[in-house]
């Protein structure tokens, strides 16, 4: 019987020294290539798209609306779900932020008593996928593939010292925009900003008129 413990391993005829050396070099070269590829991929993943700085919303260029109240309170009853199909949280300036700026810039308390309570009831922007054309037309045309429906609803109440409502008005506006399928992230942001601006222009005119119509006794 052969004593396997004392028998020295024999060198494989398929891997002489030169071949083994060549295989080792090949393995080292492969590892280096893989490392370089990994670094290149990592560098590509770290590339970020710079977002432009958009102007802030302001309404100080409009005359203030003086109210005969001692205090103005802005309450946000609407809470964005922060998930699809709602996308208002992705806007450079959300409708809720724009409304808050409007209230701060345009409504002024000039009285000593009573409260003006401004409540944000809706400030949503909802994305809806649009159907695409079938066949060859789908390849020839860049068409809208998404529609954004934005909406603002707000109420303004005048309350006495006990919290009893004395006067009340609301304003509700809506706007929509269609987005082409090939827009970049920055181009989408520009559309969102334009939509918010158009929505707020409607809101500004509507709420100011309603305040003057229905809260006339408290406008100074």
Q: Which helix (H) or strand (E) holds 55?
A: none
Tell me, what's the pLDDT at 135? 57
Tell me, what's the pLDDT at 175? 98
β-bridge mates for residue 125, sequence order: 150
Pairing mode of beta strands 115-129, 144-159 = antiparallel
Question: Comparing C-alpha atoms, which of 149, 97, 145 is closest to residue 126?
Answer: 149
Tell me, what's the pLDDT at 121? 98
Q: Do 202 and 176 contact (CB within 8 A), yes or no?
A: no
Contact partners, residue 121, CB within 8 Å, separation at least 6:
77, 78, 153, 154, 155, 170
CA distance linking residue 32 with residue 15, whole number of Å? 23
Q: List pLDDT tens digits, range 149-201.
A: 999 999 999 999 999 999 999 999 999 999 998 899 999 999 999 999 999 99
Q: For 65-218, CATH number?
A: 3.30.160
Domain boundaries, the chain: 14-47, 65-218
Cα-flanking dihedrals φ and ψ of residue 26, to 5°?
-65, -40
| Spans of the chain, pLDDT less than 70 | 1-49, 51, 133-142
């Amino acid at each position: 019987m052969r004593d396997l413990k004392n028998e020295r391993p024999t060198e494989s005829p398929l891997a002489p020294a030169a071949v083994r050396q060549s295989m080792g070099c090949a393995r080292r070269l492969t590892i280096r290539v893989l490392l370089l590829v990994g670094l290149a991929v990592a560098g590509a993943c770290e590339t970020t798209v710079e977002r432009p700085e958009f102007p802030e919303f302001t309404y100080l260029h409009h005359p203030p609306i003086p109210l005969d109240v001692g205090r103005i309170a802005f309450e946000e009853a609407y809470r964005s779900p922060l998930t699809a199909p709602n996308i208002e949280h992705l806007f450079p300036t959300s409708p809720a932020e724009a409304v808050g700026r409007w209230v701060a810039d345009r409504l002024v308390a000039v009285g000593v008593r009573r409260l003006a309570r401004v409540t944000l009831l809706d400030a949503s922007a909802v994305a809806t996928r649009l159907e695409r054309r079938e066949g060859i037309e789908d390849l020839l045309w860049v068409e809208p593939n998404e529609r954004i429906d934005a909406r603002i609803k707000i109420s303004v109440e005048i309350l006495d010292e006990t919290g009893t409502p004395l006067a009340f008005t609301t304003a509700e506006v809506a706007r929509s925009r269609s987005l082409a399928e090939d827009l970049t992230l920055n181009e989408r942001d520009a559309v969102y900003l334009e939509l918010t601006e158009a929505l707020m222009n409607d809101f500004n005119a509507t709420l100011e008129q309603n305040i003057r119509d229905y809260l006339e006794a408290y406008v100074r």
